[in-house]
Amino acid sequence: MEVRPNPTADNSSVVQPQRQRQTPATTQKKAPASPIPVDTTSVSKRLQKELMSLMMSGGDLGVSAFPEGESIFTWLGTIEGGKGTMYEGLSYKLSLRFPLDYPFKPPQAKFETMCFHPNVDQFGNICLDILQDKWSSAYDCRTILLSIQSLLGEPNPESPLNSYAAALWNNKEDYRKMVHKQYFAGESLES
């Protein structure tokens, strides 16, 4: 049986062999190469194309999003509550953070406005299958925003992040009151 040293053990008492003297040119360490090269230029171009598509739709679907600051990878979105839903007349802010390997991985989407909903937790995290295991690279920012807007009116109480909202969902009047109470009490969530 071969015994190997434990790299996490304290080896301060072990005598290390002396290293050969290195010249300044050989003392620089190189960063480890990424196993999969990331082409941020193509991701940036895709996000710019998605931004133009959203801008051309003019928010006529009740959704919009724009980059936050200088980074094309961080956006702020807005979703209007759908007509005939408990959220009608309300406007919600969301943050979208696109990974460097987008569209092969979904963005992180989070409510920044307080949202009482079975599939949204107290921190604004969203439980939506297309943002997790059902993600497809064919989806875009517009699809994500429309899906979240649709989720507002059609929650999945069987997979709740907010069990109180899920339990209250069948009592429409009390549910609507709680939606409005939380919306107007806490316009934005603390990070």
The pLDDT value recorded for residue 188 is 47
Q: Which residue has the higher pLDDT, 48 or 187?
A: 48
The pLDDT value recorded for residue 36 is 55
* DSSP H/E element including 175: helix 172-185
The two tokens of residue 107 are 């963005």
Q: Which residue has the higher pLDDT, 30 or 82?
A: 82
Please report which confidence band the pLDDT of residue 38 belongs to, taking 50, 70 and 90 as the band edges.
low
Phi, psi of 8 (to 5 degrees): -90, -10
Active site residues: 127
The pLDDT value recorded for residue 37 is 58
Angle between helices 40-57 and 141-153 (to 10 degrees): 50
The pLDDT value recorded for residue 190 is 47
The pLDDT value recorded for residue 56 is 87
Least confident of 22-26, 70-74, 144-148: 22-26
Q: Is the pLDDT score of 26 beyond 80?
A: no
- According to DSSP, residue 89 is labeled T
Mean pLDDT over 116-126 rounds to 97
The pLDDT value recorded for residue 39 is 72
The pLDDT value recorded for residue 163 is 96
Contact 108, 183 (CB under 8 A): no
Could you give the domains of the chain?
A: 40-186 (3.10.110.10)
The pLDDT value recorded for residue 138 is 95
